[in-house]
């Protein structure tokens, strides 16, 4: 039976092969899948190096926005990292996307999103939904109409930090 180190070595090898490809059309998606395995879909986020972590947080946010919107993001475990994800998006140069998330984070007490999912959900429940639902809808629409090429920004980030994925 393979050890944890063997599995991580294999995942690192897979990531290394992905970022070394000539054809970059699937790099972001394939690398996200490998990084997700490496950190067990965020449960072991501290297993990632800083570059991998930025990449993972950004991709997770983008996927959540595309599959359920910002309200869903906050209700899911990925929302535990909403504060850090703003910084990660800025690191990836996704400034407009970071602004959208930062504005959403502003509904929480002092603009700080609880890192505990249950506390975050409780805080959302304590807010007047009619007062925040319009903001969630607005932020979702802004994200969908975003003129920021998140795929290209992600790819550039990966290619500029290849060594961190190897």
**Cβ pair 74, 82 in contact under 8 A:** yes
Q: What are the backbone dihedrals phi and psi of residue 3, each rounded to the nearest 5 degrees, phi first?
A: -80, 170
**Cβ pair 8, 38 in contact under 8 A:** yes
Tokens of 41: 């879909």
Tokens of 64: 């959540």
pLDDT score, position 27: 82
pLDDT score, position 120: 96
pLDDT score, position 72: 95
**Cβ pair 80, 59 in contact under 8 A:** no
Domains of the chain, residue spans:
4-165
pLDDT score, position 128: 87
pLDDT score, position 116: 96
Question: 82-91 vs 95-105: helix axis angle to the nearest 10?
Answer: 160
Which residues lie closer than 8 Å to 6 by C-beta, 6 or more apart?
none
Tokens 């959403």 sit on residue: 104
What is the tens place of the pLDDT at every residue in 56-92?
A: 999 999 999 999 999 999 999 999 999 999 999 999 9
Between CA 15 and CA 161 the distance in angstroms is 12
Between CA 9 and CA 37 the distance in angstroms is 12
Among 3.30.70, 1.10.3470, 3.90.320, 1.20.1420, what is the CATH number of 4-165? 1.20.1420
**Cβ pair 50, 157 in contact under 8 A:** no
Between CA 119 and CA 12 the distance in angstroms is 34
**Of the candidates 163, 155, 136, the residue with the CA atom closest to the CA atom of residue 70:** 136
Neighbours of 149 (CB within 10 A): 11
pLDDT score, position 131: 82
Q: What stretches in the chain show pLDDT beneath 70?
A: 1-25
Tokens of 113: 């999103």
């Amino acid at each position: 039976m393979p050890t944890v180190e063997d599995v991580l070595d294999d995942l690192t090898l897979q990531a290394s092969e992905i970022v070394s490809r000539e054809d970059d059309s699937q790099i972001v998606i394939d690398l996200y899948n490998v990084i997700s395995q490496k950190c067990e879909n965020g449960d072991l986020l501290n297993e990632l190096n800083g570059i991998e972590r930025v990449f993972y947080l950004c991709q997770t946010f983008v996927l959540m926005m595309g599959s359920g919107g910002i309200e869903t993001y906050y209700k899911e475990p990925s929302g535990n990292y909403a504060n850090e994800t703003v910084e990660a998006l800025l690191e990836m140069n996704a400034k407009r996307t970071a602004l959208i998330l930062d504005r959403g984070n502003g509904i929480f007490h002092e603009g700080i999103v609880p890192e505990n999912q249950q506390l975050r959900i409780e805080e959302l429940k304590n807010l007047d939904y009619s007062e925040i639902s319009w903001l969630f809808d607005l932020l979702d629409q802004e994200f969908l109409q975003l003129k920021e090429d998140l795929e290209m920004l992600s790819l550039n980030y990966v290619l500029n930090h290849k060594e961190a994925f190897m």
